[in-house]
Amino acid sequence: MIENLPRFPGAIWLTLLLGLGLNNMPLPPEWAYWRPDFLVLSLIHWALAMRQNVNLFMAFFMGLLADTISYSLLGQHALGYVLVTYFAVRLSLRMSAEAFLQQFALTFIVVGIFMLINLWIRGVTGNMGAGLLYWMPLLSSLLVWPIYHGILGYFYVPRKMV
């Protein structure tokens, strides 16, 4: 059996903060529609790699931090990130961690759930999005996922358990 261990203490928190920083990096308006949610991708990655070390408190805390940084409704991202983490952990228990197509499907489902939750909250508060352009981050998340997953693979070490 192979168990993944963090390469250094705080590796998970560092990558979550890296994802938060990439989410808030300024982009030109025409590129802003294509920005994937890197924090969601980080949570999915850690749910696949080390599900025993990822918990809902981490997702909730990072969601509150994302809400305060992006001036959105307090709890909007927190709810989305908690549900992303929950579904990613639950669905990753039913799949092989190395199967690329299963990871792709998991990423599509979980990012889609996150975007639906945010769309629902935005609709309730009266902040409707840009129509079909709202769904472009789902496509870009799928395109970025293999590269981002590979980069985050540096932050843990697989160890064989006897």
**pLDDT over 80 at 162, yes or no:** no
The residue with greater pLDDT, 52 or 18, is: 18
Q: Which value, to the nearest 10 degrees, does the dihedral of the CA atoms of residues 65, 16, 11, 152 take? A: -170
- pLDDT band for 21, please (50, 70, 90 cuts): very high
Residue 126 phi, psi dihedral angles, 5° rounding: 90, 15
Strand partners, 159: 3
**pLDDT over 90 at 12, yes or no:** yes
- pLDDT band for 9, please (50, 70, 90 cuts): confident
Query: What is the per-residue pLDDT across 81-125, written as a single tens digit (0 to 9) for each?
Result: 999 999 999 988 887 767 888 999 999 999 999 999 999 998 898
Strands (E), the chain: 2-6, 156-160
Query: What is the per-residue pLDDT across 142-155, written as a single tens digit (0 to 9) for each?
Result: 999 999 999 998 99
Tell me how far apart the alpha carbons of residues 92 and 110 are, in angstroms, rounded to a whole number.
11
Rounded mean pLDDT, 49-60: 91
Calculate the average pLDDT of the chain: 90
DSSP state of 162: -
Tokens of 69: 């940084």
**pLDDT over 60 at 1, yes or no:** no
End-to-end CA distance of the chain: 7
